[in-house]
Structures are given as C-alpha cells and as structure tokens.
Amino acid sequence: MNWLLVIAGAAVGAPLRHLTDRAVQRRHDTVFPWGTFAVNVAGCLILGVLAGGVSYGAASHSVQLLVGTGLCGALTTYSTFSYETMRLAESGAKFFAAANVVASVVAGLGAILVGLTVAEALWA
C-alpha cells in the first residue's frame, strides 16, 4: 500500500515539475536555469512544512510518503540541477554555474527554514 502513495504523489509531482520549469524558464531570457531553481526551492519549502508537520504530530507516515517521497521526490531534481550546472560551466558561463550552486543551496536551506517556521506557527 505504501508504494501506491509514493506513485500517486509522483504522478502529480513529475508533471508539475515539467510544467513549472517550462513556465518559469519561458519568462526569463537568460542562461540561468530559473525553472529548475524554482522547483527545487519550492520542493524544499514543502519539505520544510512537512518535516515540521511530522515533528508536531500534524502529518502521518502516509502523508510523508505521499507528499515527501512521492510529490517532492518527483518535483525536485538534483540530476537536472547538476547537469545544468555542468552545462553552464562547460559553455563558459562559469559565473552562472557558481551562482546556480550557491543560490540553490542557500535558497533551498532558507526555504526549509521558512517551511519549518510556518509549520511551527500552524501546529506548535
């Protein structure tokens, strides 16, 4: 039964990732991978809220599987982040490659902290 929750979450997360990535990237005429950046930061925010919800007893194991593993697992993408960063570096856009790494890590951690804070405000 648990695997069905993961599949259901992924069935929503994967198309959401693709559609969000394309919509964001279409709005920005730059080599910086804003679409991947946006889905990864959004996934971190969702995981922060979920982690807080779990710690305050507001989210069950089933919700963790559905939202955390399924939805966020398919929504976020470390492989595309890595590929796009290497592509930027190889094409000579080393500043954008470094900015992608730094901004993704800082924004991702910040989004997790915001998510935890939101969870605390909602359920503590």
Q: What is the pTM of this model?
A: 0.95
115 among the known binding-site residues?
A: no
**CA-CA distances (angstroms) from residue 115 to 46, 48, 77, 123?**
7, 4, 19, 12
Q: What is the mean pLDDT of each run of 10 residues along the chain (124 residues)?
A: 96 97 94 97 98 97 97 96 98 97 98 98 95
20 among the known binding-site residues?
A: no
CA dihedral 83, 89, 95, 96 (to 10 degrees): -30
Q: Which residues contact 100 (CB under 8 A, 6 or more apart)?
A: 32, 33, 37, 81, 84, 85, 88
Give the model's pLDDT for residue 76: 96
Q: 67 and 45 in contact (C-beta within 8 Å)?
A: no
Q: 33 and 87 in contact (C-beta within 8 Å)?
A: no
Give the model's pLDDT for residue 35: 97
The tokens 């709005």 sit on which residue? 27
Give the model's pLDDT for residue 4: 98
